Amino acid sequence: MRKVIVLLIIFLSGCGTTPMTYQAEPMSINEAYEIIDQMIMSQHRDWAPDYFVITDKYLGWDYGSISYGTTNAIVYNNFALGNSSTTIRNAGERVYFSKVGGVKLYSWKRKFKQWYTVALIDKNEDLIKHILRTRDLSDAQQLFDAMTVLLNDRSDNEQSSP
């Protein structure tokens, strides 16, 4: 029984995310745009979107199209009769700036390897979306810096508009 508990503890210690303390570094808004686009689009292929956009209201991700189809056919004596239907939709996602409360940097153990993730959180500090997963801490910190600058810029623009 004792061996099972020890193995369970070892197994569980190899997984999970832990918030990290990090103070954002300043940069220009133009540099922030470039870093955000580059980091999100160049991350590991399992998490990189097909398309990413920053607008004045939201961040948008597109992961391609998902299509569903059904086919029914009857073949009799070299004669085919059938029907078909297909549904295609974009697998897009938006996160509106008005819903974002901040950015968090996490240390993440995945398959016993060290990763870092940057996440958007809401005003209650609940997770909205992980936007970067990387093995490089400096990449995660750069994206954290850039997202902080972008969110501060959006917040300033909302407060100054009538």
Phi and psi, residue 84, nearest 5°: -150, 150
Q: Is the pLDDT of residue 25 over 60?
A: yes
pLDDT per residue over 66-108, tens digit each?
A: 666 666 666 666 666 666 666 555 558 999 999 999 999 999 8
Residue 8 resides in a domain = no
The answer to whether position 55 is within a domain reads yes
Domain assignment present for 3: no
**Is residue 12 one of the residues assigned to a domain?**
no
In a domain, 103, yes or no: yes
Range of the structural domain that residue 97 is part of: 17-160
Residue 1 lies in a domain: no
**Burial category of 132 from C-beta neighbours within 10 Å (exposed 0-12, middle 13-18, buried 19 and up):** buried
At 124, give phi and psi (nearest 5°).
-95, 5
pLDDT tens digits, one per residue of 49-65:
988 999 999 999 988 76
Number of domains in the chain: 1
Burial of 62 (0-12, 13-18, 19+ CB in 10 A): middle
Is residue 107 situated within a structural domain?
Answer: yes
- What would the pLDDT profile of 136-158 be if each residue is shown by its tens digit? 999 999 999 999 999 999 887 76
**Which pLDDT band, with edges at 50, 70 and 90, does 30 fall under?**
very high
